Amino acid sequence: MGAGHSHGDRPSLGPAPRRLRVLVALLVAPLVLATVVGLVVLWPDGDLQVTGIGTDVERGKAVVTEVGECRNDVDGCRLAQVDLVSGPGAPGKAEALMPYGPGAPEVAAGDRIVVSYAPEAPEGERYAFQDFDRGPPLLTLTILFAVGVLLLSRWRGIGALASLAYSLVLIAMFTLPAIMEGSSPLAVAVVTAAAIMLVTLYLSHGFDVRSTVAMLGTLVSLVVIGVLGWAFTRVGHFTGQVDEGSQYISGIAAQVDLRGLLLAGLVIGALGVLDDVTVTQTWAVWELADLDADATTRSLFTRAMRIGRSHAASTVNTLVLAYVGATLPLMLVFSALDLPFQIAVSQEIVAQEVVRGLVGGLGILAAVPVTTAIAALVASRLVRQRTPDSSPSHRA
């Protein structure tokens, strides 16, 4: 029988030589130091006071027990008896105004809802329906997602889930408060991306040279995205005030740089896609090198780029369609108004998604050759230092 070759979770190129490990450490150390300094300098102090419409409203959760007519003479007005589960007055019972009129959501007994509380309102009108409580179904979906990740990725899935949790906590505790306090959104986004990248790549894929190669490819691509995004948001005269959310933020927190916020979203939004591309390309190069004892930098780069071109094409398509989907309802409005395509796509709320999709796509296109070149260079060195007994042709 011919020689066989078996792959585990890790290719068998062997450990990196000491000189390569030192070089990798020298490349990573400044990035780690800069990220730590950025976190320290930009970390929010927590004393921001926000005032404006809606900022003094308290919220809680409740369960609807009965829905009936209001005691006033307003046609269609509905009032619900609710059991307060959390928030002001909980635990206890209260009356809450329900939405009514054309297009209003239907609320029935047994529904779990979120209620707002306005203490200055008249008795009987202090509580009002704000939205449905979607916590239970979202929790169920989260559990299904976590189980799926663990079943497919096994022990690596634990690292992936921990990385996801870390990313969300960092954004909640650092990114959002720092931007709200007036720090440069682009600087905050860069520090956030670096902090996420440093932890999640190693936590999800192991602390080795491959992860470092993927990180370097991701870093170069993020620089490309940041520079292109900065240039085209200025050339395109973007203001960042394109929807109710950004306009509301400008009203209650004038210190927030909305144009910078657009750039921050572009950088953070592209990070996850770049992680996928750079990790895939690095692992592809390692597998190719593991199969060929005579692999050179040139041959590894050429073969891995065949994989990368197909991956980049599908990923760019996915990214652009995701941004198009985000503006689909608005595009329907423009279609109903019979606006010419050139005018519709020039509207800032649509144009910013176009910029995000195209700039993110250019970042992906840069990530593939850059990451492949770095990975091929490193893997070919590992092939040359591999002992003859560890090459594929010598393994049964």
Q: Name the percent of the chain lying above pLDDT 70.
A: 86
For residues 324, 327, 333, 336, the Cα torsion angle rounded to the nearest 10 degrees is 0
Handedness of CA 168, 169, 170, 172 (dihedral sign): positive
The answer to whether 208 and 279 have CB atoms below 8 angstroms apart is no
Q: pLDDT category, 169, cuts 50, 70, 90?
A: very high
The whole-angstrom distance between residue 117's C-alpha and the CA centroid of its chain comes to: 32
274 pLDDT above the threshold of 90: no
The whole-number pLDDT of residue 52 equals 57
Average pLDDT over residues 168-185: 88
148 pLDDT above the threshold of 60: yes
How do residues 194-235 score in pLDDT, each as one tens digit?
899 888 887 777 777 888 888 888 888 888 888 888 888 888
8 pLDDT above the threshold of 60: no
Q: What is the mean pLDDT of the chain?
A: 80
* CA–CA gap between residue 311 and residue 159 (Å, rounded): 24
* CA–CA gap between residue 20 and residue 382 (Å, rounded): 9
Instruction: Please tell me whether residue 367 adopts helix, strand or coil conformation.
Output: helix
Instruction: Give all domains of the chain, ordered by start, each with its CATH number.
Output: 18-44+181-394 (no CATH), 58-136 (2.40.50.220)
The whole-number pLDDT of residue 141 equals 94
Handedness of CA 297, 300, 303, 307 (dihedral sign): negative
The whole-number pLDDT of residue 5 equals 38
The whole-number pLDDT of residue 391 equals 44
Cut 0.85: pTM above it: no
Higher pLDDT, residue 341 or 237:
237
Amino acid at position 316, single letter: V
252 pLDDT above the threshold of 70: no
176 pLDDT above the threshold of 80: yes
143 pLDDT above the threshold of 90: yes
The whole-number pLDDT of residue 10 equals 46
Q: pLDDT category, 4, cuts 50, 70, 90?
A: very low
Q: pLDDT category, 55, cuts 50, 70, 90?
A: low
* CA–CA gap between residue 48 and residue 280 (Å, rounded): 42
The whole-number pLDDT of residue 36 equals 92
244 pLDDT above the threshold of 60: yes
Average pLDDT over residues 264-275: 82
